[in-house]
Amino acid sequence: MVRPSKADRATIRGILTTKLTKAKADELNYIADLCDGFPRIAVFATESYEKKAILKSVDDVAQQIMDSVGADRETVRALECLSLFDSLLPDEDPAAFDKLAEMLVHMKGELMYENLVIATRQHLVERNHGAMAVQPRPIANFLALRRLDYLRPSTLVAFLDRAPCHHRDAMLARWRFLARSRTLSEAIHTLLRTRFAGSNIVHPDVAPYLNAFVHVEPDRTGTSLYWAIAQVPLSDVEEIHVTEELIDALRLLASRQKSFGPAAQMVLRLAAVAPLEGSQPILQLLRQLFQVALAG
């Protein structure tokens, strides 16, 4: 059995070129990228290519793998739930694990755990010192996006509101890979209009959300931050606690040509009221953006 453990790119290309003798170099590179280092995906990618002449989406390959494994409906649902998180430790907080299983996939926690153990034997779940994660990433993304399609945005907002910090953070860490989900976009829109509206967006309690929000909804998140930082008196800006997460969010916004200007204005205002002693991260970011602007 070909197991989905990581291999180097040369090995993946070797699997692909063995069967895809007519594929062009750019096609091989594209398919190798989708394989994400997992030989099993490479094997199924060759079959998909032979049937369709070109692999247009990883979703087709992911579905092929799930069909080949023969996972039943309950196992697939358990995998969909786990794929929403970077990883989960079922025994770290059993009660919280049970609640997330019931809330996100309508399963008892013990049943979800049982099915994840079955999926481990099918090489679709990695276990590391008690932590569980769906592998490989293309499969995890495919399953997570499908589960998000089944969830109401209000359910997601309620989960984030009630979940312990370690579960919330494990979920938010996945959003950068799930940016095309409409459910995530609508959940972010709801939060930005309610709990995170106005100056709340720069409150330290909201900081853990910022990176994920910028990856999924950079325009909406950037606008909310702009109104809270660039459209208020400097005396209010001085009261903002500049967290590492806020700096990372501004850096991400500045990396986009469309939002570089507004991000630079926000950084400039925060730097204007920053203490001069020590090496302040916001001042370092200002220098970096200044060098980018000079370089054109």
Q: 134 φ, ψ to 5°?
A: -75, 140
Within a domain: 182? no
Q: 152 φ, ψ to 5°?
A: -75, 145
Within a domain: 180? no
Within a domain: 151? no
pLDDT the model gives residue 10: 86
pLDDT the model gives residue 122: 83
pLDDT the model gives residue 296: 62
Can you read off the two tokens belonging to residue 129?
């010192």
Task: Please identify, among 42, 69, 96, the residue that sits at the C-terminal boundary of a domain.
Answer: 69
Domain count of the fold of the chain: 2
> Within 10 Å of residue 183's Cβ, how many Cβ atoms?
18
Contacts of 215 (CB under 8 A, 6+ apart): 175, 176, 179, 252
Within a domain: 155? no
User: 54 lies in which domain range?
Assistant: 9-69
pTM over 0.95: no
User: What tens-digit pLDDT sequence spans the chain (296 residues)?
Assistant: 334 467 888 888 888 888 888 777 877 877 787 777 878 777 777 776 666 555 566 676 677 677 777 789 999 999 999 999 999 999 999 999 999 999 999 999 999 999 999 999 888 899 998 999 998 888 899 999 999 999 999 999 999 999 999 999 999 999 999 999 999 999 999 999 999 999 999 999 999 999 999 999 999 999 999 999 999 999 999 999 999 999 999 999 999 999 999 999 999 999 999 987 767 899 999 989 988 877 76
pLDDT the model gives residue 101: 98
pLDDT the model gives residue 111: 97
Within a domain: 39? yes
Within a domain: 224? yes
Within a domain: 88? no
Task: Please identify, among 27, 46, 69, the residue that sits at the C-terminal boundary of a domain.
Answer: 69
Of 34, 25, 32, 41, which is closest to residue 10 (Cα–Cα)? 32
pLDDT the model gives residue 3: 43
pLDDT the model gives residue 56: 60
pLDDT the model gives residue 221: 98
pLDDT the model gives residue 39: 81
Task: Please identify, among 50, 69, 88, the residue that sits at the C-terminal boundary of a domain.
Answer: 69
Residue 128 backbone class (left: φ over 0; alpha: ψ -120 to 50; beta: rest)? beta
